[in-house]
Amino acid sequence: GHGGLEPDVVQVPLIAVGAGIAPGAKLAGVQLQDVAPTLGALLGVGAPQHALGRTLTEMLALDAATKEALTLQDTAR
């Protein structure tokens, strides 16, 4: 199905591999709305201003200061 509330529809795997991704990162509590801010961070353009999700900093290969800055941007948005 699509758009329903069944577990098969709302619980899907997220696999990320490549430049900027921390190898072996484990995520919990991820929502689909977190994908756009995370992709924005990977592309270096930031999160869309209307995005509701958070940047998945725990899966990004970034220094602590950059991760903190992204988290602050998410809070401000």
SS3 labels along 18-72: CCCECCCCCCCCCCHHHHHHHHHHHHCCCCCCCCCCCCCHHHECCCHHHHHHHHH
Q: Which residue has the higher pLDDT, 3 or 55?
A: 55
Nearest partner of 41 among 64, 77, 71, judged by Cα: 71
Residue 1 has pLDDT above 70, yes or no: no
pLDDT digits (tens, 9 = 90+) for 18-30: 999 999 998 988 9
Average pLDDT across the chain, whole number: 91
- pTM summary value: 0.85
Give yes or no for a contact between 41 and 60, defined as CB atoms under 8 angstroms apart. yes
d(CA 57, CA 67): 6
